[in-house]
Structure 1
Amino acid sequence: MLQTGRSQTEVATELRVSQSVISRLQQRHRETGRVTERRRSGRPLATSQADDRYIVNNALRNRMMNALKCHVRNRLHQHGLRARRPARVPDHTTRHRHHRLAWAREHLRWTRDQWSYVVIKLHTDVP
């Protein structure tokens, strides 16, 4: 398009990209004779796309995974997943334990009808 005499702005408007993208592509073509990106340095990926899908699916199934290796964690982060740890619940005090035991002893001999009333009551109170 540029070789036919059209301006960078016209080409950018037609392709719905910014003018700077067209400018960079033209500059790259002048320097290298290509418009594709040059090969970049860096460590190659240790996992394939299929491995990544497997890792993500397993993490979604088991949210309580605790020891993720670094490369696995990176793949999960790429897919928007983070390692989660369950919230730590404070220990019960002696007073709590006594109250729970007293409640259990009071309700030890309840019948099925008494418990069904509690279940029905809970269901009607919930909005």
Structure 2
Amino acid sequence: MGPRPRMTLERRYEALSWRGKLSEVAIARKLGVARRTIQCLFKKYEETGSAADKKGMGRKRLTTQREDRMLIRKSLYNRRATSRQLAEEIQKMTGKQLSTTTVKTRLLEAGLKSCRATRKPLLTAQNRKRRLLWARAHKTWTVQQWRTVMFTDESRFSLVSDKPVHVRRRRGERFNKDCIAPTMKQGGGGLMV
């Protein structure tokens, strides 16, 4: 089981306000924490006169703000780069060895989440123009006219892998051209039945 979340400063002062009025056990029950937590809080308050944590508690950050910006810039330049590839690039530039977890954490802090790329047919400008003309020409068709059209069902068997592509993107960038994996007819090698 992981560590319990730390008590907020407000809850610490709430516990201190009950000091002398309630027992340590009663305060601990009321706040839903261990009795030892309350004991340590009271001891710390007697020694320092404050319930706040000491400045600089916790592990020091491994990367600087400049390195974080570098990492974000590299990720946005190549959205398909893996955490390992980004860590290697940063190591080449700064000499610091970062874990893939650190890289993921920094990118998540910047709002860059690893997601599957949106799959979308690869359309040229000419294809888009033709599709738009076709849609405009047929937008006034009646149900009777559409019933004369024969729709067919097809099954596709790939001869090559259709592995999902992962990209790093921010919220709302789903259809950004850098976050899309274009698909081709027959997938670059397939059989239609």
TM-score for the superposition, normalised by structure 2:
0.31
Bigger-Rg structure (1/2): 1
More helix by share: 1
Q: Whose strand proportion is higher, 1 or 2?
A: 2
TM-score (norm 1): 0.43
Taking CA–CA contacts closer than 8 Å with sequence separation of 6 or more, which of the two structures ends up with the larger relative contact order? Answer: 2
